[in-house]
Amino acid sequence: MHVTETATDSAIADRYRDPAIVSLAATSPVVEHQLRHRSVRSFLADPVSDDQLTAIVAAASSAPTSSNLQTWSVVAVREPGRKERLARLAGDQAFIEEAPLFLLWVADLSRARGLAAAAGGGVRVAATDYLESLFLGVIDASLAAQNAIVAAESLGLGTVCVGGARNHPEEIAAELALPDGAFVVFGLAVGVPDPDERAGVKPRLPPSVVLHHETYAAPSAEEIAAYDQRLNAYNAAHGLGGGWSERVLARLVGPASMAGRHRLRSQLQRLGFPSR
């Protein structure tokens, strides 16, 4: 089943805001749903029901997972006091407190280590001490969360990812009573979007920049400049400033721009991820 041409054209136009990309020849309701994704940072007071949460987690559990190891968990937080503490640890982001549900996506090697301990007899899972296993947990948690985002939006909810959950990973692990070998990769605020929020579908880099055929080809200066101009126009319309290049350079300038995350390696070691 295909969506109507008018609806798809509108969705693709909003996603890229590039006059060279005005339609999709192949599409579906799922594709259009994904094209309309946006971050939501203002929520109504309406709760996210247990039934909705169950559906969201079922969708998350349906994501790919390497070798079916399922090295991820998710902690659902609704209690106002805990959300307030998590919001402070994640960069004083008020929308975390406002959202009725805050999901913390966890790279979780503790279950595998628990299986080894329960088996006894010197059974070991020494591979969990290596960087590859950290990648397994991070990738599994990220894939599960992306499925959850699509599912939540299909239920009429809005979301925003919160990388600030890595600002103070040890304190957040303690707040959530995480076991050794588990850490929060990022958070996800979930709730009914406030219709008065001044936000839209943010334009992305065009396929000519992110899609490579057979071998990698660096983008041209003209392609980047054109995207900067489109994002500048979007930002100006929403009371923001700057283009893409400016933001990338400012965000990645060095440790001072990383909100404490430059210490992540040593913090992860203390949380049970030696990453040899």
DSSP-assigned letters across all residues of 188-203:
EEEEPBPTT-------
**Cβ-based neighbours of 97, under 8 Å, separated by 6 or more:** 80, 83, 84, 87
Q: Read off the pLDDT of residues 153-187 as tens digits, 9 standing for 90 and up.
A: 999 999 999 999 999 999 999 999 999 999 999 99
pLDDT tier at 95 (50, 70, 90 boundaries)? very high
pLDDT tier at 256 (50, 70, 90 boundaries)? very high
Give residue 3's pLDDT. 42
pLDDT tier at 250 (50, 70, 90 boundaries)? very high
Q: Read off the pLDDT of residues 105-130 as tens digits, 9 standing for 90 and up.
A: 999 999 999 999 999 988 999 999 99
> Which residues does residue 184 pair with via DSSP β-bridges, in sequence order?
106
Choose among 178, 183, 191: nearest CA to 149.
191
Q: Read off the pLDDT of residues 186-229 as tens digits, 9 standing for 90 and up.
A: 999 999 999 999 889 999 999 999 999 999 999 999 999 999 99
Summary mean pLDDT of the chain: 95
* Percent of the chain whose pLDDT exceeds 70: 97
**pLDDT higher than 80, residue 16:** yes
The residue-averaged pLDDT of 238-265 equals: 93
The residue-averaged pLDDT of 245-262 equals: 95
Report DSSP letters for 117-181, one per residue.
HHH-TT---GGGGSHHHHHHHHHHHHHHHHHHHHHHHHTT-EEEEEGGGGSSHHHHHHHTTPPTT
* Residue of 155 and 2 predicted with greater confidence: 155
Return d(Cα 159, Cα 202) in angstroms, integer: 14
**Residue 74 · residue 60 · CB < 8 Å:** yes
The residue-averaged pLDDT of 249-275 equals: 96
**pLDDT higher than 70, residue 5:** no
Q: Read off the pLDDT of residues 31-85 as tens digits, 9 standing for 90 and up.
A: 999 999 999 999 999 999 999 999 999 999 999 999 999 999 999 999 999 999 9
Return d(Cα 221, Cα 227) in angstroms, integer: 10
Locate the domains of the chain by residue range: 38-200+261-270
**pLDDT higher than 90, residue 7:** no
CATH annotation of 38-200+261-270: 3.40.109.10
